Amino acid sequence: MIGRLAAAPGPEPAPLLPLEVEGLVVELGGKRLLDGLSFTLRPRRCTLILGPNGAGKSLLLRVLHGLVPPSRGRLRWAEPDPARRRLAQAFVFQKPVLLRRSVRGDLTVALAARGVLRRERRARIAEALALVGLEGFEGRAARSLSGGEQQRLALARAWALRPQLLLLDEPTASLDPAATRMVEAIVRDLAGRGVTIVMSTHDLGQARRLAEDVLFLHAGRLVEASEAAAFFARPSSREAGAFLAGELLA
Amino acid sequence: MQLPRRVFLALALGAPVSASRAADRSILLATTTSAENSGLLGYLLPRFEKASGIRVKVVAVGTGQALKLGERGDADLLLLHHPPSEEAFVAAGFGIDRREIMANDFLLVGPAEDPAGARGRDVLAAFRAIAASGAPFVSRGDASGTHERERELWRAAGIDPGSAARGWYREAGSGMGATLNIAAAMGAYTLADRGTWASFANRRGLVVLVEGDPRLSNVYAVTLVNPARHPHVKVAEARALADWLGGPEGQAAIGSFEVGGTRPFRPIATARAVPGSDGGR
Amino acid sequence: MGPLGISGEIGEAAVTALRLLWSADPELLAIVALSLEVSLAATALAAMLGLPLGALLALARFPGRGALVLLVNAGMGLPPVVVGLLVYLLLSRSGPLGDHGLLFTPTAMVIAQTILVTPIVAALARQAVTDLLEDYREHLASLGLRPLAAVPVLLVDARYRLATACLAGFGRAAAEVGAILIVGGNIRGHTRTMTTAIALETSKGALEQALALGFVLILVVLAVNLAAAGLQRMARRIEG
């Protein structure tokens, strides 16, 4: 019933990116949480959003995904149709939201919502679970999995939707080091398959391992937007320097 | 389990039910708890049903509620024991062909120790003694036939138990059995009908203190719900039950009903229906 | 009944209850069957009405929604006697639905109990769906599902709490006497249920018999809950 709303993505979908953000402002409850951000997201890049807690990283991801409307400013996507933009994106939350169903049931709801035809779903599910190392988990209750397995399932679900842009909100914040490495490997794998990645983290090591581009936020302002190598070698702002020196973690 | 059918019926507001029920020969008899609780109807009605093929559904409520059921056309026949209300019911055009079929009597029951010294007196003297002693008395308090009779007795005794905030007079607002349960628990006096008393199991310390006074006679009569007012009333079937109760078979069965070692009901029907009989006696 | 004291009386009643069940007395079995039939039918109807209503109240935003939520929550405390009286006035021969001849039938009892149970199911369903929605909201939005399109997903995923809501409704129906006494009339062999039979035996002073019937009622409600718990466990196992 949901499938009718959304055409199944064809073999060569229209490009979603690049995205040009101009003067993005978000105000909630009278407080300015994002303050005049301007930057460009390039396709097929892995962009890490860095910054201390409360800098506005999660909020920025939600604005990009259309979950929170901007108060001011413009987001200029290559794809003009908002419904198609949503279809070309997937989101992975810090705490994975899994349905109270089997792994297969959870993935099926997502695929059905995105208009994937019934006969294609089984193969998509098997392939996505294989990608994240959860082969044979179809019948397990989604919420009975371990924390790391749950986040990998969330990644499988995101990949099953065949997004051009994958947004990840601190996906490893509550995982142990082993699970974190597995998630990073999957993200790298997806980037290698041509998915544009935008991921927030406050883990500097993770940023060094994954980032091609960096957006550094501080107190709702975009302090630096640069390529990763340049950012880590010579941060141009005082805040980024302090952050890299480990003085801005709080 | 007829669950799906019942769900469907309730959904359809039972239109099919009413059609099927119209065909079966059954009537609804509204009566007082005293007639039902004594077990008399459980003894009489199977005999009538066997003889006539008419099924009798009994709804046992207080006299006031039974009269209301008749007034609204929710019953086919009434079996009650409060002549003044029944006569008013007929006079108002709600009922027809009232016919007295049996009698028993009321009893004053109370604790065996009898703190008020009511034992063996005539009932008015006993009521005065209870009021004077301040020993607890439980009233039905439910506008039933028994309650109406009790109020008449207080009036005749010249006492208004409800006037002052007298701790000794308690209104239960309940049926006969429930009122006896309360009286038994409190060690209180109460007015009961012999039928309920004879079959009542939970007497504890209660005994009969006053009986046989002519003021305690208790007459039961049947009244048909007026078909001119409620055309759907099953008047032929209802009349069949009234005639059977008043006829030789029914009268003999009433006289032979036994409970707790006594025969609480006396058959008193005359040969024909007596519309507007005086009934007060 | 001898001077046994409360524990002795309860013990005797329990023995009588077991003896009644063991003897499979046809009248008792008919009473148990009717009680189950009426209460389960009322619960099923209340579920059909209350579950969608609860989901609607959790998901939809419309004027008067707050008042309706308040009304449904307050409806959980509807006095059975008042509901019985209202249904009586509705179904009475002199009432608006009198022509159907439903008064003093099991159908009338189902109607009255449905009115009593629906607010319980709806209120508990609303709370269950609200809690679930809090958890799912961003994910469903990310998938592009509008809240109303997500109703089937939410109802399926809240199934255990919704089942509990229905069991609470069934408990209310099975234990209720005030409404069915008025609209059913406690007619022997026709509309007599366990609760109205208990009221009758109590009024006859047959306390042991009344208490024994009470034990039977408790056993039956327990059996229904056990069956529901068993079904849930089976469902969980099938889900893996």
Q: How confident is the prediction for chain A on average, in pLDDT?
A: 91
* ipTM here: 0.88
Region A21-35: what's the mean pLDDT? 94
The DSSP result for A111-159, as a single string, is: HHHTT--HHHHHHHHHHHHHHTT-TT-TTSBGGGS-HHHHHHHHHHHHH
Chain C residues whose beta carbon lies within 8 Å of the beta carbon of residue B196: 204
The pLDDT-based confidence of B198 (bands split at 50, 70, 90) is confident
CA distance A213 to C13: 80
The chain A residue lying nearest C160, using CA atoms, is A100
Q: What is the mean pLDDT of residues B144-153?
A: 89
Sign of CA dihedral A61, A67, A72, A78: positive
B162-176, B190-204, C106-120: segment of lowest average pLDDT: B162-176
Residue B113 in this model has a pLDDT that exceeds 90? yes
* pLDDT tens, per residue, chain C with 240 residues: 445 567 777 888 788 878 877 787 888 889 999 999 999 999 999 999 999 999 999 988 899 999 999 999 999 999 999 999 999 999 999 999 988 989 999 999 999 999 999 999 999 999 999 999 999 999 999 998 877 788 889 989 999 899 999 999 999 999 999 999 999 999 988 999 999 999 888 877 778 888 888 988 999 889 988 988 888 887 776 554
Average of per-residue pLDDT across A124-153: 95
Nearest to C110 among B1, B10, B199 (CB): B10
pLDDT in tens, B208-228: 999 989 899 989 999 999 999
Q: Does domain A16-244 have CATH number 3.40.50.300?
A: yes
Nearest-CA distance B198 → chain C (Å): 11
Residue C18 has a pLDDT of: 80
Q: Which chains have at least 3 CB atom pairs separated by less than 8 Å from chain C? A: A, B
Amino acid identity, position B13: L
Structure tokens, A42: 């390039």
The answer to whether B174 contacts chain C (CB < 8 Å) is yes
Q: Do C142 and A67 touch (CB under 8 A)?
A: yes
What backbone phi and psi angles, to 5 degrees, belong to C171? -60, -45
Higher pLDDT, B277 or C188: C188
Percentage of residues of chain B with pLDDT beyond 90: 59
Q: Which residues 6+ apart lie within 8 Å of A36 measured at CB? A: A23, A24, A25, A73, A221, A222
Which chains are adjacent to chain A, needing at least 3 Cβ pairs under 8 Å? C
Answer whether residue B74 shows pLDDT above 90. yes
Q: pLDDT per residue over B34-50, tens digit each?
A: 778 788 999 999 999 99
How close, in Å, is residue C157 to chain A by CA atoms? 5
| Residues A6 and C144 sit within 8 Å (Cβ to Cβ) | yes
In chain C, residues 78-137 whose CB comes closer than 8 Å to chain A: 132, 135-136
Q: Please tell me which of the candidates C37, C97, C202 has its beta carbon nearest to residue B6.
A: C37
> Which chains would you list as touching B if contact means 3+ CB atom pairs under 8 Å?
C
Predicted pLDDT of residue C145: 87
| A13 confidence band (pLDDT: 50, 70, 90) | low
Minimal C-alpha gap between B226 and chain C (Å) = 13
Q: What confidence score (pLDDT) does residue B13 get?
A: 43
C138 and A CB contact within 8 Å: yes
Output the average pLDDT for chain B.
85
User: Best residue in B6, B41, B144 to probe C by mutation, most C CBs within 10 Å?
Assistant: B6
Residue type at B84 in one-letter notation: P
pLDDT band per the 50, 70, 90 thresholds, residue B6: low
Question: For A173-183, what is each residue's pLDDT tens digit?
Answer: 999 999 999 99
Would the CB atoms of A67 and C156 count as touching at under 8 Å?
Answer: no
Query: Would the pLDDT of A108 be above 70?
Result: yes
Mean pLDDT, rounded, for B4-32: 59
**Whether A109 and C153 lie within 8 Å, measured CB to CB:** yes
Separation between Cα atoms, residue C59 and residue C147, nearest integer Å: 6
What's chain B's length in residues? 281
When pLDDT is averaged across residues B67-95 and rounded to a whole number, the result is: 94
Chain A contacts in chain C segment 141-200 (CB below 8 A): 141-145, 149, 153, 156-159
**A245-249, B129-133, B237-241, B253-257: lowest mean pLDDT where?**
A245-249
pLDDT score of B162 more than 80: no
Looking at per-residue confidence, does C225 or A167 come out higher? A167
pLDDT at B2 > cutoff 80:
no
Q: pLDDT at residue A43 above 60?
A: yes
Helix (H/G/I), strand (E/B), else coil: A75? strand
Percent of chain A with pLDDT over 90: 80
Task: Over range A153-163, report the average pLDDT.
Answer: 96
Region of B192 on the Ramachandran plot (φ > 0 left; ψ -120 to 50 alpha; else beta): beta
Extract the tokens encoding B106.
């009321």
Which of C138, C141, C157 shows the shortest C-beta gap to A99? C157
Band the pLDDT of A227: cuts 50, 70, 90.
very high
Q: How much is the pLDDT for C22?
A: 78
Q: Do C138 and A87 touch (CB under 8 A)?
A: no
Give C29's contacts (C-beta < 8 A, 6+ positions apart).
none
Residue B77, pLDDT above cutoff 90: yes
**Domains within chain B, CATH numbers bracketed:** 3-104+218-267 (3.40.190.10), 105-216 (3.40.190.10)
Touch between B and A (at least 3 CB pairs under 8 Å)? no
Say yes or no: B68 contacts chain C, CB-CB below 8 A: no
The domain covering C30-206 belongs, at the CATH homologous superfamily level, to MetI-like (1.10.3720.10)
User: Which among A97, A100, A110 has CB closest to C138?
Assistant: A97
A80 pLDDT exceeds 80? yes
Of C36, C114, C207, the CB nearest to B10: C114
pLDDT of residue C25: 80
Q: Which of C138, C140, C153 sits opposite A93 (nearest CB)?
A: C138
Residue A211 confidence (pLDDT):
95
Give me the half-sphere count of Cα atoms (radius 13 Å) on the Cβ side of residue C167: 18
Least CA distance to A6: which residue of chain C? Answer: C144
Domain boundary assignment for chain C: 30-206
What is the reported pLDDT for B16?
36
Chain A residues whose beta carbon lies within 8 Å of the beta carbon of residue C158:
100
- pLDDT, position B277: 42
State the pLDDT at residue A12: 59
Touching B: C residues 178-217, CB under 8 Å: 185-188, 190, 200, 202-207
What integer pLDDT is reported at residue C61 of this predicted model?
Answer: 86
Of A6, A89, A101, which has the smallest distance from its Cβ to C157's Cβ? A101
Cβ distance A166 to A92 under 8 Å?
Answer: yes
Q: Region A225-235: what's the mean pLDDT?
A: 92
Are A10 and A64 within 8 A, CB to CB?
no
**Residue-level pLDDT at B166:** 63
**Residues 10-39, chain B, touching C (beta carbon < 8 A):** 10-11, 13-15, 17-18, 21-22, 28, 33, 37
Q: Which pLDDT score is estimated for B22?
A: 44
Q: Are strands B217-225 and B77-80 parallel, antiparallel or unpaired?
A: antiparallel
